[in-house]
């Protein structure tokens, strides 16, 4: 594990200390957890398909005949792999 020095305001550090005491955990562990949360949500966020915008494919290659055809296409693609 890498040791680092971070400058924070006294009130912020005191709040982390109080929270750590309430949780019966070391302050350093709480700060590491906060850094990991930041990394996961800001640096490497998980993208959801629900939040994704559709990509433009320009033109329809062939009309969709229904759910059965979609499943057939998926199984055929899987069988080729």
Average pLDDT over residues 19-32: 97
- For residue 78, being part of any structural domain is answered with no
Share of the chain above pLDDT 70, in %: 98
pTM value?
A: 0.58
- For residue 30, being part of any structural domain is answered with yes
Q: How far is CA 25 from the centre of its chain?
A: 26
- For residue 59, being part of any structural domain is answered with no
72 or 32: which carries more pLDDT confidence?
A: 32
For residue 81, what are its two tokens? 């792999």
- For residue 66, being part of any structural domain is answered with no
- For residue 51, being part of any structural domain is answered with no
Band of pLDDT at residue 63, cut at 50, 70 and 90: confident
Please count the structural domains in the chain: 1
How far apart CA 40 and CA 56 sit, in angstroms, is: 29
- For residue 11, being part of any structural domain is answered with yes
pLDDT at position 79 over 80: no
For residue 19, what are its two tokens? 């929270």
Average pLDDT over residues 36-44: 94
For 14, the domain range is 7-46
């Amino acid at each position: 594990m890498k040791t680092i020095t971070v400058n924070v305001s006294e009130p912020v550090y005191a709040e982390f200390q109080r929270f750590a005491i309430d949780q019966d955990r070391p302050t350093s562990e709480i700060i590491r957890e906060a850094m990991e949360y930041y990394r996961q949500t800001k640096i490497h966020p998980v993208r959801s398909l629900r939040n994704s915008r559709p990509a433009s494919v320009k033109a329809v290659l062939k009309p969709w005949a229904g759910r059965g055809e979609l499943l057939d296409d998926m199984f055929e693609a899987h069988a080729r792999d």
